[in-house]
Chains A and B, each alone.
Chain A
Amino acid sequence: MSENRGLKAWFKERFPLATFAYEVPAHANTFLFSLGGITLLSVVILVVTGIILAQYYTPNPETANQSIRIIMTDVKLGSLMRSIHVWAAETAVVSVILHLLRVLFYGSYKKPREVNWIFGVVLFALMIGLFFTGTVIKWDQEGYEALAHTVAIGKMFGGPFAAYLAPNDASLLSKFFSLHISVLPLLLAVVIVLHLFLIKVLKISPLPWKPRTIPAGKHTFTQHFVKLTGYFFILLGVLIGLAILLPASLGPLPVAGVESARPPWVFMGIFSIENWAGIPGLVYSSALVMLLLLLAPFLDRARSNLLRERKSIAAVAAALVLVLSGLTVNAYATKPEQHIGMSGEAAESAPVDNSTPMDNQKNMDTQEKTDTQSIGSVPQGIDKALNIITQLKDALTTKDANTALTQVKELDEAIDPVKDAIKAEDASLIPSLSAEAIEGAVQDSNFDKAGTLVAAMQDALAKAKVIFTSKESVAKGLATATDLLTQTKVAVANKDLTTAKAKLSDLDKTIDPLKSSISAKNGDLKKDLSVEAIEGVLKDDKPDWTKADALLDAFQQAVEAAKSLFE
């Protein structure tokens, strides 16, 4: 017995837990003043489950998605651990937002707690960052699009942001993995320590109003701690329940260049803004919200903590909350726009990782291939040759044989890759495209002859350019026509008369200017490329959809035939 007391005393002296029994105001033990603590509890659960998940996860673009699938299906309790992690991320973000709002509406950021509020804003940013990087490293469509957005934002900022996101030996996925599991958690830990330290030394803020009844008895931090332990069990129970009843899912392997996923709800508000104002809208509006948050204690100069004496700040805060909620609802209700990949930027922005998922690598290869093969590159080659010719002419007039010879060589290199293509269009142009003849004349110092040859070549190239540019525009027009045809077909399949008619008229406008070029090559095709018959069918209020579809098919065949003429 006495020995026992001795041991206790020994321990008490060396681990003086009693110091935590300091007095705190009664309201510090209420739920609203426990929201910061509840956030911390979620963070603890996130750390533990996160460490377990990291044992199985592989931060490699080729295997990441699959490794999560294995966690979900093969690893014992894997799905449970992952689902708890995912749900705890939700409770952490919800509780940190509620905690922030509590502090804001209670005016708890006022003197002397301004600096701790700023630490709080940093913590908020870190939590959002953790949520975001967590989304990315799932490496499904949603995560991949989140990353593509980051890359687009990085490009907008340039500088170190862009440099960090630029492809190098480390994949973007592994960079984001290291952010998610080391950089951000370490920063979070440091700032949490600072935050808690300041709470301890500055004490909990007073209630804005005088409590009607002065609570009897003493409230201590130890009691607060015990209460938090209670909340911990409730939270853990809720998380396990959610994880079992609504297990976390995982999206498909990502496909580059499309925007088909909605972001997690946390980002839905700013996603709405992005839909209207693109990436800059997203960046500026988030920056603005962060700035307003950081400045809040300095903008709110009211002496009192009472809301009724801080009407404008309360109105701004309430309006921001309302606007963000409205934007969130709006984003769920509307179809997202395409902001980043796609279109001309596709080749640039789609492969956001140097070891890209699925077939992106393959797509990139075909991209390169089609670039060099496509007729689009022939006019470019011709342009290059024409540029060299201008310089060559100068060299010939000044009779500068050395420069002329190097330029002839460059000219030869520029013409060589397009010669075959030109020959296929108009073989009669080929004799004028001989760089060798010019070279010979220059070597003989016969600058006049060289000049004539160069002028002839210039003529031939100019002719070839006309042929190819028109060919290119016809091919482009036909590609647009194919897309419009597909859209018309979809509208017909959906029995959507208005869209079908609109698309058909677009189609007509696209095809019409191409007709003369097409009939120059194949006169028979012209009559097949008329939308009149289809328009006739669609005139009816109850059109014969099958017939329209059949006619569209015939049209499509004609377009394909025309395409092959211009390949």
Chain B
Amino acid sequence: MRRVLVLFLIAMLSLSSAAPVLAHGGEEGGTVDAAGYIKQAIVFLEGIQDIDTAAMDIQKAMKAEGSDVLDQSKLNQALTALQKPDIEQTKVLLVQALDKDPKNAPELSLRPDYRASSANTAFLGLAGVFVILGAVVVRKVKASH
């Protein structure tokens, strides 16, 4: 018993004393082109919604190599949208700055919502039937005599 406690203490101590050795902030090596920066900005907005990093990436994109292929006015609009902050609008503008259609650009997440349709209603009905059927079966099982 005591051994267990000692082991646990050691475990907790080693966990808590682990210094933040490897965690470090990011500075890119300066190898990304303008479109690359825009894509980075988008994934930062898609993922952890890091507005500051996204804003920096957009500003970098405006100056980086290859910025001539980007729609600069869209980028400016994106920066404005980001300051509101309207993240959805920003993402759309960034994709447009890349000259892509935001409707099916693979640079954006695909997040389908529930859509009311007869097929979906039917599936929901089926799901309900399954749950009820299952519950009946589970409750019916009794000890045999």
Contact = CB atoms under 8 A, between A and B. Distances in A.
Interface string B108-145: 11111110000010011011111111111111111111
Contact of B55 (A244, A252, A300, A490): A490
A29 B134 CA distance: 15
Contact of B33 (A281, A323, A362): A362
A513 interface: no
Interface string A138-159: 0011100000000000000000
Residue among B33, B130, B136 with max Cβ neighbours from chain A (10 Å): B130
Contacts of B123: 80, 240, 244
Contacts of B56: 483, 486-487, 490
Contact of A343 (B29, B106, B135): B29
Contacts of A232: 134
Contact of B26 (A262, A313, A338): A338
A72 B110 CA distance: 9
Nearest to B121: A244
A220 interface: yes
Contacts of A235: 134
B26 A273 contact: no
B73 interface: no
Contact of A260 (B46, B104, B108): B46
A557 B42 CA distance: 27
Interface in B1-43: 1-5, 7-8, 11-12, 14-15, 18-33, 35-36, 39-40, 42-43
A244 B22 contact: no
B40 A240 contact: no
A261 interface: yes
B12 to A, nearest CB: 8
Interface string A509-532: 000000000000000000000000
A359 interface: yes
Contact of A218 (B12, B46, B145): B145
Contacts of B126: 237, 240
B131 A252 contact: no
Contacts of A259: 26
Interface stretch (A91-99, A187-195, A363-371, A443-451): A363-371
Contact of B31 (A229, A238, A363): A363
B6 to A, nearest CB: 10
24 contacts: A66-B106, A80-B123, A140-B109, A217-B145, A226-B137, A229-B134, A230-B137, A231-B138, A234-B135, A240-B123, A244-B120, A245-B124, A250-B110, A252-B106, A260-B40, A260-B46, A261-B48, A277-B23, A339-B24, A343-B27, A343-B29, A346-B28, A347-B29, A367-B31
Kindly list the 10 A-B residue pairs having the minimum CB-CB distance in the complex, ordered from nearest: A278-B22, A217-B143, A233-B134, A237-B130, A230-B137, A234-B134, A277-B18, A230-B138, A237-B131, A342-B26
Interface of A: 26, 29, 65-66, 69, 72-73, 79-80, 140-142, 215-220, 223, 226-227, 229-238, 240-241, 244-247, 249-255, 257-262, 273-281, 284-285, 288, 292, 299-302, 311-313, 315-316, 319, 323, 335-339, 341-344, 346-347, 358-359, 362-363, 366-367, 370, 479, 482-483, 486-487, 489-490, 493-494, 560
Interface of B: 1-5, 7-8, 11-12, 14-15, 18-33, 35-36, 39-40, 42-44, 46-48, 50, 52-53, 55-56, 59-60, 63, 65, 79, 83, 104, 106-114, 120, 123-124, 126-145
Given A234-B131, A244-B127, A338-B23, 9 more contacts: A237-B129, A249-B111, A252-B106, A258-B26, A260-B44, A302-B1, A315-B5, A490-B56, A494-B52
